[in-house]
Amino acid sequence: MSARLLVVDDILANRRLMQAKLEAKYYSVLLAENGVEALKIAAEDQPDIILLDVMMPGMDGYEVCRRLKADPQTAHIPVVMLTALNETADRVRGLEAGADDFLTKPVDDFSLMARIGALNRYNAVAMELRKREANGMRAGALAEEEMQGLERGANILLIDSSSSSMQSIRDPLQDAGHRVLTLDEADKAADGRNSNLDIVLLGLSHQAFDPLRLCAHFRTTDATRALSIIVMATSADRELAAQALELGASDIIQTPVVAEELLARVATQTKRRRYVDILRRRVDRGLELSVVDQLTGLYNRRYMTNQLALWMKRASLGSQPLSVISVDIDHFKQVNDKYGHDAGDRVLVQFADRIRTNVRPKDIVCRPGGEEFLVIMPETTGDLAGRAAERIRKSVAAEPFELDDLGQQKLGVTVSAGVAAYAGEDDTVADMLRRADLALYEAKTAGRNRVTNIAA
Ligand SMILES: [Mg+2]
């Protein structure tokens, strides 16, 4: 997976070296020699990842990072800070400035490629979700409480065989407000379901089982697919660590583990996983909104047409019957004109409920527009559909509709309905809908408050 990286460093030799390393791996590279230039290029060229030097004259890396994260145009771009050797304080400052990751100088190739690979995979998922969401509505920005949710303590599954490292890992995590479970504890806590976990911390060395197999298992199992996996490996196990990344691990941490780094990586992975989670839920909701009529909760015209085509196809293959009912509120325009649109909307909502309660769960109730409603009845003869239509008509006429919240003003409403049935292989969606409308029209001209069944 290729990507475009922005390298920010005040020293020419450093920029050139980094550029050579990255281009050797087929990444494309943008360069900036100071903070001001970096901010400009980031906003205009939208790189996928930014590698940011901390020590620069003028605006330092922390300030650049803060500004990148404060600008909605650049806030989503992962920033990797390049810090001086083993300066824990630098890393903490970097995190406070909003950095997504950090590397110590001099940067070794393995860590560099591992970090970029992990950020790249994360970017691919987040970008796809943002793109889909942008078709609907908000473009990936989070509300205040969603932001706070990203920061809350994580649920971490710790899989490591050495008991001493368990302590050195577990204690700092718990002190920082995270919940740490071992495999045994997780089994007891959730009946084997780990759906509320955020992160798996997986030791690669000296395990009684094959840790790579476990990595692959987590990635291919529905319940654990979205988890972040951080593998822990000694420098001697780099080959294994590289394979773990290939199999979908999100990040690597070197053992013996440095508490500051552990906490930083856990925080970053938790944030990322939850961000993707939020986007994914929004996309799902967006898909739902795109097929459902907002007022009544019934399916819209687009969904209706797709479903009818699908059921006609099935009917043609399985020689099963299929019927539709077209229903329309009589003199609805007068309701709107006389009582106003709010009252009209109330009638539509109550009418939708009466249709729903008079059909089966497998029937598909739609509101293609205005006061028109349509019920698709799979595996149903015209005769049966006619009886359902009659049930709907009666239930509407039987009890007046409420026009206000308190139910003080009520109005008697009637409906007319037309029923049509699938007519065999040559039938089309348009023809079937036209026949149902024709039947409905007959019911209207014959005096309304009745059902015309041209299928029976
Ligand atoms: Mg510098």
**To which residue do tokens 């509320």 refer?**
196
Among 113-117, 123-127, 138-142, the least confident range: 138-142
Q: How far is the CA of 232 from the centre of ligand 1 (A)?
A: 30
Q: How far is the CA of 259 from the centre of ligand 1 (A)?
A: 26
- Beta strand 228-233 with 199-203 is parallel
CA distance 145 to 4: 32
Q: Say if 1-107 and 140-289 have the same CATH topology.
A: yes
Q: How far is the CA of 96 from the centre of ligand 1 (A)?
A: 19
pLDDT confidence of residue 137: 46
Task: Give the active site residue among 63, 246, 371, 402.
Answer: 371
What strands lie across the sheet with 4-8, from one edge to the other?
28-32, 4-8, 49-53, 79-83, 101-104
Residue type, 12: L
pLDDT in tens, 437-446: 999 999 999 9
CA distance 289 to 133: 12
CA distance 143 to 97: 20
Contact in structure between 34 and 63 (CB atoms under 8 Å): no
SS3 78: coil
The segment with the largest mean pLDDT, out of 88-102, 133-147, 224-238, is: 224-238
pLDDT confidence of residue 107: 83
pLDDT-derived band at 142 (thresholds 50, 70, 90) equals: low
Q: How far is the CA of 54 from the centre of ligand 1 (A)?
A: 6
Give 374's strand partners. 326, 366
SS3 359: coil
pLDDT confidence of residue 312: 94
pLDDT over 70 for what percent of the chain? 90
Higher pLDDT, 216 or 45: 45
pLDDT confidence of residue 1: 57
| Cis geometry, peptide bond prior to residue 256 (ω within 30 degrees of 0) | yes
Q: How far is the CA of 213 from the centre of ligand 1 (A)?
A: 41
pLDDT-derived band at 139 (thresholds 50, 70, 90) equals: very low
Region 261-289: what's the mean pLDDT? 80
Q: How far is the CA of 100 from the centre of ligand 1 (A)?
A: 19
User: What's the CATH code, domain 301-453?
Assistant: 3.30.70.270
Tokens of 417: 């309905």
Choose the CATH number for 140-289 among 3.40.50.2300, 3.40.50.1220, 1.10.3720.10, 3.30.2030.30.
3.40.50.2300
Kindly tell me if the per-residue pLDDT of 30 is higher than 90.
yes
Q: How far is the CA of 55 from the centre of ligand 1 (A)?
A: 4
CA distance 442 to 435: 11
Q: How far is the CA of 12 from the centre of ligand 1 (A)?
A: 10
Q: Which residues contact 409 (CB under 8 A, 6 or more apart)?
A: 339, 343, 402, 403
Torsion angle, CA of 365/367/372/376, rounded to 10 degrees?
Answer: -30
Tokens of 38: 């970096």
Higher pLDDT, 56 or 126: 56
Handedness of CA 100, 105, 111, 113 (dihedral sign): positive
Q: How far is the CA of 121 from the centre of ligand 1 (A)?
A: 28
Tokens of 148: 């706070």
* DSSP assignment of 164-232: HHHHHHHHHHHHTT-EEEEHHHHHHHHTT--TT--EEEEE-SS-SS-HHHHHHHHHHSTTTTT-EEEEE
Higher pLDDT, 388 or 212: 388
Helix axes 259-289, 144-151, angle to 10 degrees: 140
Q: How far is the CA of 53 from the centre of ligand 1 (A)?
A: 6
CA distance 370 to 345: 10
Q: How far is the CA of 56 from the centre of ligand 1 (A)?
A: 5
Contact in structure between 419 and 452 (CB atoms under 8 Å): yes
- Beta strand 49-53 with 4-8 is parallel
Region 14-28: what's the mean pLDDT? 92
SS3 106: coil
pLDDT confidence of residue 241: 84
CA distance 54 to 61: 4
pLDDT confidence of residue 164: 67
pLDDT confidence of residue 290: 73
* pTM, to two decimals: 0.54
pLDDT confidence of residue 194: 47
Q: How many CB atoms lie within 10 A of CB 426?
A: 7
pLDDT-derived band at 308 (thresholds 50, 70, 90) equals: very high
**To which residue do tokens 């995270």 refer?**
178
Contact in structure between 154 and 198 (CB atoms under 8 Å): yes
Kindly tell me if the per-residue pLDDT of 189 is higher than 70.
no
Region 261-282: what's the mean pLDDT? 83
* DSSP assignment of 4-60: EEEEE-S-HHHHHHHHHHHHHTT-EEEEESSHHHHHHHHHHH--SEEEEES--SSS-
pLDDT confidence of residue 286: 67
**To which residue do tokens 């390049």 refer?**
82
pLDDT in tens, 320-362: 899 999 999 999 999 999 999 999 999 999 999 999 999 988 8
Domain range summary for the chain, segments of one domain joined by +: 1-107, 140-289, 301-453
Backbone φ/ψ region at 380: left (φ over 0), alpha (ψ -120 to 50), beta: beta
Kindly tell me if the per-residue pLDDT of 200 is higher than 50.
yes
pLDDT in tens, 364-379: 999 998 899 999 999 9
Tell me the residue length of the chain: 456
Q: Catalytic residue at 399? A: no
pLDDT in tens, 73-83: 898 899 999 88
Region 93-116: what's the mean pLDDT? 81
CATH class of 1-107: alpha beta
Extended strands (E) in 352-445: 364-369, 372-378, 401-402, 410-411, 415-421
- Beta strand 451-453 with 179-182 is unpaired
Average pLDDT, the chain: 86
Q: How far is the CA of 79 from the centre of ligand 1 (A)?
A: 16
